[in-house]
Amino acid sequence: MATRIGIDIGGTFTDLVFLRPDGRVERAKVLSTPEDYSLGIATGIESTLAGGSLRIEDVAQIMHGTTVATNAILEGKGARVALITTEGFRDVLEIRRLRMPVLYDIRWRKPRTLVPRHLRFEVAERIDHEGRVERPLDEAGARTVVERVLAGKVDAIAVCLLNAYANGAHEQLVRELVRARDAAIPVTLSSELLPEIREYERTSTTVVNAYVLPVVRHYLGRLEAQLRARKISRPLTIMQSSGGAMGAAAAAERPIHIIESGPAAGVVGAAELARRLGNLSLLSFDMGGTTAKAALVDQGQYLRVGSLEVGGGINISGRLLSGGGYHVRAPAIDIAEVGAGGGSLVRIDAGGGLKVGPESAGAVPGPACYDQGGTQPTVTDANVVLGFINPVALAGGGLPLRRELAVKALEEAVAKPMALTLEEAAWGVHRVANAAMARALRAVSTERGRDPRDFAILAFGGNGPVHAATLARLLEIGRILVPPVPGLFSALGMLFPAVERHYVRTFKRDLAALDGTALEQAYRAMEEEGGAALAEEGFAPGMRSFERQVDLRYIGANSELTVAHGADGGNDARSLRERFGAAHEHQYGYRSDEEAVEIMNLRVIARGVATESHVPERLTLGAEAPAGMGARQVYFGPAVGWVKTPICARGDLGETWRQGPLLVEEFDSTTVIPPGARARRIAWDTIEIELG
């Protein structure tokens, strides 16, 4: 029978999850190998194979999330790229949208432009906003430009001409001129990658694609070679930021789609779990060492945004202030991130207020209790002092901890200056961290017009299950779910997505004057493109499905809303208007029926339909942990104080409720069930917690 492997690469560890067809889950954690990540993966697979419980022949598929594209950008190690653009516009890439991600900061520096000015070339041509050629491409001039580009010894070429979203003919001509001189160099055309209005966003996206393309292509080639050398010739599928999967070959051509593949996988897992548990509505909450991430899953469906910024750092008001990173216009799951995690540093500011993060102790030196030289307290130190985290060793018996170092750090940095007891100080740190993380949860709920109280929290990441209960109380949320392998849940999430391709095309016109034939033609063209892509990944015509969407806005409004363009008709102007009005009311709390509406973009999602569900009905963890692991003192706040709290394993929980206080300790995390709450184990080996 066929086993599928999910692989998530982090800065420190590479997580591997093996899912057998009967639903049994095995896991492995190996050190990442940043000089060549494919080595770590090979080692991880090899060690599991050596364990004897899995055979090479059993492996059906390998699903992978990778930060290789992101890292190339963050470390400035992408390709040497030339940009060809319209006369008068070569500085668009560097001028950007002018905006800064922070107010008042005279020390801020804008990110280095990915293509230096001397590698940005102009050609004389002009296409207007309706796609009419105002001035034909000056081919002689363009040939000279191509010569100069190639003389610049570049690894890849990006072409983005003004208004090319409306007509890509001149971009194609430029590519032909390149091909006539060099048949191999990768060329990314904006009109093929992203035929969408707004020249900076399109230019930046095209340039990022060209910049990471050679790196991603090389990495995926190495990984496939490593796997082949171990006689694993199963398909390698890559996770996209959008939550869909794509074949390795396609990912190498359009790497802008795999930039946020790791974080997306956790949310895909959350959505799958939500569907299996009856189309639940969840807030996924992923708390790791340096950041916490939140996403909204509405009745089993996650939401997407149209763009992301790479390397922008973490910014709480990121949705308002932008410009910190490299803009990439590609669909991505709507994830909010804040700089609060287990390793977040704690300090007192000049006004006497307690600050948690966004600075982090990182993997080295790590929290004070790790005894690796860290002396400044972290959130993890507070959780150790409170008894939430095992004070002797990290769960799973890995790294030994020294509680006395956590105590010392908190005493000196917080308790003494604020004249508090040790537990008051630790409790305060825990709550202030929650306040920061609540902002991420609010960003995906309240800011989207949704009330968090209507959702359950799905907590994962090493620290998610530690904070979930207190965070839920802050947001007045009553129900928490902790999935199996919470610390490796992103790797598990890799196993769920379908193969997907996203297409967008600007089709800007007044809805009132909608030409149904032109619209249908535009959709058909996009579906043909999607069909061809799916064919390349092995999906026969009967195994392809297409979802049509349309971006609408009130004429002149800032942002568009995406609504369904239904497969079963009902897409006349009046119905679309109504659907948009309802969506606007849902999102922003009002609608303006007297205002004119316009279409901005058409979207198509092409999906490969799997012959059978590749996810078993039930998931169970391979090894049952021993029952009854004793008890320890845990501090649950001043009203409750210290409480002797029993410790158990996930396997000790049954279908009947068990009253808190209780700690569930396992390999990769600790779940805290406070007094007044109760917990049980439900389908998919998930822990359900109800707060009192």
Partner 1 sequence: MQAQASGEAVLRKEMLQTRDPFALELIKNALVTLADEMALTVSRTARSFVVKEALDFSTALFLADGELIAQGTCLPFHLGAMPFAVRSVLNTFGGRIRPGDLFVTNDPYDGSTHLPDVVLVRPIYREGALLGFSSALAHMTDIGGRIPGGNASDSTEVYQEGLRIPPSRLWHQGVPDENLFRIIERNVRVPDKVIGDIRSLIAACMVGEREMIKLADRYGSGPFRQYCIDLLDYTERFTRAEIAKLPKGTWRFVDHLDGDGIDPRPIPFVATVTIGADDLTIDFTGTSPQVRGAINCVFPFTLSTALACVRSIVDLSIPNNAGYFRPIKVIAPEGTIVNPRPPAAVAARGITGIRIADTVFGALAQAVPHLIPACGSNLPEVGVSFGGTDAHGKSFVYLEFLLSSWGGGPDRDGMDACTGTLVNYSNTPAEMIEADQPLAVERYAFVPDTGGAGRFRGGLAIERHLRFKADDAVLQIRSDRRDHRTYGLAGGGQGAASDVSIRRADGKVDHLPAKFLTRVNKGDVFAVRMAGGGGFGDPLERDPDAVLADVVEGKITAAHAREGYGVVVGGSPPGIDAAATQGLRTRMRRRS
CB of 456 to partner 1, least distance (A): 15
Cα dihedral: 655, 6, 626, 289 (round 10) = -100
Amino acid at 111: P
In the bound state with partner 1, the residue whose beta carbon lies nearer, of 579 and 591, is 591
Nearest of 687, 686, 690 to residue 618 by alpha carbon: 686
CB of 580 to partner 1, least distance (A): 13
- What is the distance between the terminal CA atoms of the chain, rounded to a whole angstrom? 44
Residue 335: exposed, middle, or buried by beta-carbon count in 10 A (0-12, 13-18, 19+)?
Answer: buried
Question: What CA–CA distance (Å, rounded) separates 521 from 132?
Answer: 18
Question: Edge-to-edge strands of the sheet including 500-510?
Answer: 500-510, 597-608, 544-554, 561-564
Report the 10 Å Cβ neighbour count for 658. Answer: 16
In the bound state with partner 1, the residue whose beta carbon lies nearer, of 583 and 615, is 583
CB of 59 to partner 1, least distance (A): 46
In the bound state with partner 1, the residue whose beta carbon lies nearer, of 438 and 550, is 438
In the bound state with partner 1, the residue whose beta carbon lies nearer, of 435 and 610, is 435
Q: Six-digit token pair at 406?
A: 């956590």
In the bound state with partner 1, the residue whose beta carbon lies nearer, of 425 and 621, is 425
In the bound state with partner 1, the residue whose beta carbon lies nearer, of 364 and 435, is 435
DSSP state of 235: P
In the bound state with partner 1, the residue whose beta carbon lies nearer, of 128 and 404, is 128
CB of 478 to partner 1, least distance (A): 9
Question: What CA–CA distance (Å, rounded) separates 308 from 259?
Answer: 9
What backbone phi and psi angles, to 5 degrees, belong to 599? -80, 135
User: Residue 666: beta bridge partners?
Assistant: 669
Question: What CA–CA distance (Å, rounded) separates 676 from 519?
Answer: 57
Residues in contact with 102: Cβ distance below 8 Å, sequence separation at least 6, in sequence order = 108, 315, 321, 324
Nearest of 334, 333, 331 to residue 603 by alpha carbon: 331
CB of 106 to partner 1, least distance (A): 5
In the bound state with partner 1, the residue whose beta carbon lies nearer, of 34 and 478, is 478
What backbone phi and psi angles, to 5 degrees, belong to 346? -110, 135
CB of 102 to partner 1, least distance (A): 7
In the bound state with partner 1, the residue whose beta carbon lies nearer, of 319 and 403, is 319
CB of 107 to partner 1, least distance (A): 8
CB of 206 to partner 1, least distance (A): 14
CB of 110 to partner 1, least distance (A): 5
CB of 535 to partner 1, least distance (A): 33
Contact 114, 81 (CB under 8 A): yes
Burial track 556-569 (b if 16+ CB lie within 10 A, e otherwise): ebeebbbbebeeee
In the bound state with partner 1, the residue whose beta carbon lies nearer, of 157 and 436, is 436
Q: Six-digit token pair at 483?
A: 């999935």
CB of 36 to partner 1, least distance (A): 33
Residue 402: exposed, middle, or buried by beta-carbon count in 10 A (0-12, 13-18, 19+)?
Answer: middle
Report the 10 Å Cβ neighbour count for 456. Answer: 21
In the bound state with partner 1, the residue whose beta carbon lies nearer, of 219 and 636, is 636
In the bound state with partner 1, the residue whose beta carbon lies nearer, of 559 and 656, is 559
CB of 324 to partner 1, least distance (A): 12
Runs of H (alpha helix) within 277-339 = none
